[in-house]
């Protein structure tokens, strides 16, 4: 009984009924909402819970807004149309409730930033926050008040096209950067006229789709769910994310849009989320093909009971909710609370006071400042994977610019770009023509686009390389090859790009490869033909100048991999924070060393692939610089950490080169024995450290037992006593090591 009362009171708090515990501002808001709710008919309440995709601004749609049948649109982006629809809602609908207008502004509206996976490579929350801020300012100018980002799906499978939209494979990194993105979109306050509401998605597990096939089933057991997949969502909710979106997948048989454990128990009761939850596009109706609902009425009942506040597109709520309430199958209290959640976000956005766009206000879209912010983001997002004394280039060298991505303004922007414009995108070629005018170059695209298989211009590529001091080959993926519903089973460089690279290398000239892609590609087979590799996840509007800044040493690469780069697609899933297994790899035999008709043997009895071993091509956190950094003097303030206490880990980093640079120092821990098996390493901190040539700095990380807490065997979250390893270093596979004990 006591438990029930506690649960009930938590439930009330989370639904905003316990106003005295909130600030005066919140109390005022709750009163406003409750007063409004009293005036609303059931039809209007259901209308608030209904989101439609924008079609034409027709009379019939206006009539529906006028009748209070629609709470939100997605995809209106013309400010004049937004104003007109808001006018109808505010002046003509029964209770004058403004609309909330959503759009997928995933990495910029007009000024396009690197795709989220690229932004994650910056390991810089400020870069991510700045990008989201610019996106919010440009969106609000169009009347967009809500974006469907950040996507915080942990992604450990590069075949999955939507890895592009993710912040990588690590829950800690995704949590820190996801919170930063929320801060950027929502600004200091949601009511600021330049803020938009964030929507953390997809709740939950979508990134673990079987085989990387989009929309597929996931099977994430409870400890993994708690310790890995939920973590970034909780961080984003703590950062104040206004809304959340459910995912398409079923996890262990339960589709996310019908999962009350996730939506009520975790999100509302544990995390105290008081914004609203929207289903993904038709994800409610899709519970029918999932085999979880028998018809559309069943869908509405399941989702309403699970805790979906707003339905995206499939309109089962308007069709059946009233009937379900009358039949006692959905509670009126739940529906009132769902409407409260939606109205709360509208109120916080200031829409009740001013839902309109000021179309006369000077536009900040594509401002110098926005473009510069995007350029800096693209610089910090690029990862130098290989450099055998070719980079940086000298401005006196003649270069041969080759390949389909050297001048691909559309593709360079990446996936989920509805509003960015080719004409505003600066490609590397364009940057050569405008900013880097003194460079002597010859340009041979050879392939028109990444999938182009026409080899007839290969000779031209060779001639160009022969005529130059260095060949710079721009390869990668078109933007349409990643993103939603764009999974691939082969993630080598597509088409004949590898062959092109070989042809260029055959000239004997030094070859720099610049890749722009939506995912970590399997490039091991290409590495022998590249003296240097600069990897960019589609870098956005200012990718061209950013890449040239890096190639010419005006900027020094500092990006680090937010995902493991596998050698072969067959190694997937491979991620740094895996469990050790009972048989961790020790001795890896070579395939060719196995004798013909070898007698039955277990070859060392450990966990690896005969043909590709157990190591990735590049580990999580990897990335080179033109500077050289040396780590020394790792020291812990104590090696005995009391439960509830914290320790400081210090390390000295020296830039031993003659080039100024920035290193991302990473702290990892391993909990050696746990009530459940703990990963071999877990990222617990990172810092970008700028060091002048020759400079040394001692940096500090603070680790508390809270940082070591995890959901253990008894399904509570706490740190456990015992031995820990700690590393600080330049990537997840390399670092100085210390030990401590939690007492
Ligand atoms: C489906 C996608 O899964 C989701 O991420 C997106 O926000 C919605 N469509 C709206 O476009």
Peptide bond into 431 cis (omega under 30): no
Q: What's the DSSP call for residue 565?
A: B
Q: What's the DSSP call for residue 480?
A: G
* Residue 740 beta carbon below 6 angstroms from any ligand 1 atom: no
- 48 CA to centre of ligand 1 in angstroms: 19
Q: Among the atoms of ligand 1, which is closest to the Cα of residue 247?
A: 3
Three-state DSSP state, 229: helix
Q: Is 377:122 a contact under the CB 8 Å cutoff?
A: yes
Q: Among the atoms of ligand 1, which is closest to the Cα of residue 165?
A: 5
Flag whether pLDDT at 11 surpasses 80.
no
- The radius of gyration computed from the CA coordinates of the chain, to the nearest angstrom, equals 27
**The predicted structure's pLDDT at residue 588:** 84
Residue with the smallest CA separation from ligand 1 atom 1 is 281
Band of pLDDT at residue 604, cut at 50, 70 and 90:
low
How many C-beta atoms surround the C-beta of residue 466 within 10 A? Answer: 13
The domains of the chain are located at 373-551, 575-614, 629-742
Flag whether pLDDT at 541 surpasses 80.
yes
Flag whether pLDDT at 441 surpasses 60.
yes
* Residue 280 beta carbon below 6 angstroms from any ligand 1 atom: yes
Q: What percent of the chain has pLDDT over 90?
A: 93
Residue closest to 693 by CA, chosen among 658, 662, 738: 658
CATH architecture of 629-742: Sandwich (2.60)
Flag whether pLDDT at 362 surpasses 90.
yes
Which of 13-27, 409-423, 489-503 has the lowest average pLDDT? 13-27
Instruction: Please give the Cα distance from 335 to 339 (Å, whole number).
Output: 6
Instruction: Please give the Cα distance from 362 to 514 (Å, whole number).
Output: 37
The tens digit of pLDDT for each residue in 261-290 reads 999 999 999 999 999 999 999 999 999 999
Q: Is 726:740 a contact under the CB 8 Å cutoff?
A: yes
- 299 CA to centre of ligand 1 in angstroms: 19
**The predicted structure's pLDDT at residue 601:** 81
* Residue 281 beta carbon below 6 angstroms from any ligand 1 atom: yes
**The predicted structure's pLDDT at residue 593:** 87
Flag whether pLDDT at 20 surpasses 80.
no
- The CATH code belonging to domain 373-551 is 3.40.50.1700
**The predicted structure's pLDDT at residue 21:** 52
The tens digit of pLDDT for each residue in 379-408 reads 999 999 999 999 999 999 999 999 999 999
Pairing mode of beta strands 661-671, 722-731: antiparallel
Flag whether pLDDT at 57 surpasses 90.
no
Flag whether pLDDT at 1 surpasses 70.
no
Instruction: Please give the Cα distance from 99 to 114 (Å, whole number).
Output: 30
What mean pLDDT comes out for the span 706-716? Answer: 98
Band of pLDDT at residue 603, cut at 50, 70 and 90:
low
Peptide bond into 573 cis (omega under 30): yes
Q: Among the atoms of ligand 1, which is closest to the Cα of residue 248?
A: 3
- 196 CA to centre of ligand 1 in angstroms: 17
Q: Is 579:607 a contact under the CB 8 Å cutoff?
A: no
Flag whether pLDDT at 695 surpasses 80.
yes
Burial class of 388 by CB neighbour count within 10 A (0 to 12, 13 to 18, 19+): exposed
Q: Is 185:199 a contact under the CB 8 Å cutoff?
A: no
Flag whether pLDDT at 472 surpasses 90.
yes
* Residue 290 beta carbon below 6 angstroms from any ligand 1 atom: no
Pairing mode of beta strands 254-255, 682-691: unpaired
Residue with the smallest CA separation from ligand 1 atom 9 is 281
Angle made by CA atoms 569, 573, 574, in degrees to the nearest 5: 95
Peptide bond into 202 cis (omega under 30): yes
- 344 CA to centre of ligand 1 in angstroms: 23
Q: Following CA atoms 422, 423, 429, 431 in sequence, which dihedral angle do they give, to the nearest 10 degrees?
A: -120
Band of pLDDT at residue 5, cut at 50, 70 and 90:
very low
Flag whether pLDDT at 670 surpasses 90.
yes
Q: What's the DSSP call for residue 157?
A: -
Burial class of 2 by CB neighbour count within 10 A (0 to 12, 13 to 18, 19+): exposed
* Residue 411 beta carbon below 6 angstroms from any ligand 1 atom: no
Residues 6+ apart with CB under 8 A from 243: 146, 197, 198, 199, 200, 275, 276, 277, 278, 345
The tens digit of pLDDT for each residue in 491-500 reads 999 999 999 9
The tens digit of pLDDT for each residue in 620-659 reads 999 999 999 999 999 999 999 999 999 999 999 999 999 9
The tens digit of pLDDT for each residue in 212-221 reads 999 999 999 9
Residue with the smallest CA separation from ligand 1 atom 3 is 280
Q: Is 276:179 a contact under the CB 8 Å cutoff?
A: no
**The predicted structure's pLDDT at residue 23:** 84
Buried b or exposed e, range 71-94, using 16+ CB within 10 angstroms: bbbbebbebebbbbbbebbbeebe
Q: Is 106:416 a contact under the CB 8 Å cutoff?
A: yes
Which of 423-427, 526-530, 584-588, 739-743 has the lowest average pLDDT? 584-588
Helices (H), 515-635: 543-551
Beta bridge partners of residue 630, listed in sequence order: 654
Query: 296-306 and 332-348 are packed helices; what angle lies between their axes, rounded to 10 degrees?
Result: 70
Active site residues: 280
Flag whether pLDDT at 342 surpasses 90.
yes
Q: What percent of the chain has pLDDT over 70?
A: 97
What mean pLDDT comes out for the span 567-583? Answer: 97
Containing H/E element for 28?
Answer: helix 24-39
* Residue 720 beta carbon below 6 angstroms from any ligand 1 atom: no
Band of pLDDT at residue 602, cut at 50, 70 and 90:
confident
């Amino acid at each position: 009984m006591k438990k029930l009362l506690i649960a009930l009171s938590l439930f009330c708090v989370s639904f905003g009924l316990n106003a005295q515990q909130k600030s005066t501002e919140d109390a005022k808001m709750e009163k406003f909402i409750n007063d409004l709710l009293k005036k609303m008919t059931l039809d209007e309440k259901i209308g608030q819970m209904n989101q439609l995709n924008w079609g034409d601004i027709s009379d019939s749609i206006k009539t529906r807004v006028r009748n209070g049948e629609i709470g939100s649109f997605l995809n209106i982006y013309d400010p004049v149309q937004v104003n007109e629809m808001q006018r109808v809602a505010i002046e003509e609908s029964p209770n004058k409730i403004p609309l909330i207008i959503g759009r997928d502004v995933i990495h910029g509206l007009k000024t396009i930033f690197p795709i989220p996976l690229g932004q994650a490579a910056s390991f810089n929350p400020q870069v991510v926050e700045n990008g989201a801020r610019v996106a919010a300012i440009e969106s609000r100018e169009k009347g967009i008040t809500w974006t469907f980002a950040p996507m915080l799906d942990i992604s450990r499978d590069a075949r999955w096209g939507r890895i592009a939209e993710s912040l990588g494979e690590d829950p800690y990194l995704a949590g820190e950067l996801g919170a930063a993105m929320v801060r950027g979109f929502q600004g200091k306050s949601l009511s600021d006229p330049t803020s938009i509401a964030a929507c953390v998605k997809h709740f939950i597990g979508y990134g673990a789709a079987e085989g990387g096939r989009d929309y597929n089933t996931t099977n994430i057991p409870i400890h993994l769910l708690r310790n890995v997949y939920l973590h970034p969502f909780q961080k984003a909710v703590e950062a104040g994310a206004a809304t959340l979106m459910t995912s398409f997948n079923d996890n262990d048989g339960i589709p996310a849009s019908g999962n009350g454990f996730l939506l009520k128990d975790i999100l509302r009761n544990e995390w105290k989320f008081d914004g609203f939850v929207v289903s993904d596009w038709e994800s409610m109706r899709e519970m029918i093909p999932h085999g979880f609902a028998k018809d559309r009425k069943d869908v509405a009942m399941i989702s309403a009971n699970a805790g979906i506040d707003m339905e995206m597109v499939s309109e089962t709520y308007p069709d059946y909710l009233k009937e379900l309430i009358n039949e006692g199958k959905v509670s009126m209290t739940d529906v009132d609370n769902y409407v409260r959640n939606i109205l709360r976000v509208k109120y916080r956005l200031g829409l009740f006071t001013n839902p309109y766009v000021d179309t006369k206000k000077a536009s900040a879209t594509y401002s110098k400042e926005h473009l510069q912010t995007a350029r800096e983001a693209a610089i910090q997002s690029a990862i130098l994977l290989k450099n055998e004394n070719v980079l940086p280039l000298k401005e006196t060298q003649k270069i041969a610019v080759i390949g389909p991505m050297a001048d691909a303004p559309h593709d360079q922007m990446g996936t989920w770009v509805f509003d960015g414009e080719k004409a505003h995108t600066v490609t590397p070629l364009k940057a050569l023509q405008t900013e880097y005018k003194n460079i002597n170059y010859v340009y041979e695209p050879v392939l028109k686009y990444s999938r182009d298989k026409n080899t007839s211009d290969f000779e031209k590529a060779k001639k160009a390389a022969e005529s130059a001091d260095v060949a710079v080959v721009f390869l990668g993926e078109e933007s349409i090859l990643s993103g939603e519903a764009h999974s691939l089973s082969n993630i080598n460089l597509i088409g004949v790009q590898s062959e092109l690279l070989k042809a260029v290398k055959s000239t004997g000239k030094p070859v720099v490869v610049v890749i722009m892609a939506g995912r970590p590609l399997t490039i091991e087979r290409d590495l022998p033909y590249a003296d240097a590799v600069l990897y960019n996840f589609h870098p956005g509007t200012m990718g061209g100048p950013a890449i040239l800044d890096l190639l010419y040493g005006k900027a020094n690469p500092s990006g680090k991999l937010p995902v493991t780069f596998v050698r072969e697609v067959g190694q997937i899933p491979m991620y740094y924070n895996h469990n050790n297994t009972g048989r961790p790899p020790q001795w890896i035999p070579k395939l060719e060393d196995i004798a013909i008709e070898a007698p039955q043997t277990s070859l060392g009895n450990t966990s690896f692939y005969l043909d590709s071993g157990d190591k990735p091509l590049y580990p999580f956190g990897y990335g080179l610089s033109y500077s050289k950094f040396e780590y020394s003097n790792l020291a812990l303030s104590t090696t005995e950490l009391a439960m509830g206490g914290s320790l400081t880990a210090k390390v000295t980093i020296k830039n031993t080169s003659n080039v100024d640079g920035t290193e991302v120092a990473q702290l990892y821990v391993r909990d050696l024995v746990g009530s459940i098996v703990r990963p071999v390493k877990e990222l617990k901190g990172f810092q970008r450290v700028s060091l002048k040539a020759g400079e040394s700095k001692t940096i500090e990380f603070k680790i508390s037992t809270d940082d070591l807490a995890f959901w253990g065997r008894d399904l509570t979250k706490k740190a456990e006593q015992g031995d820990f390893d700690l590393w600080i270093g330049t990537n997840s596979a390399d670092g100085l090591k210390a030990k401590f004990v939690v007492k």
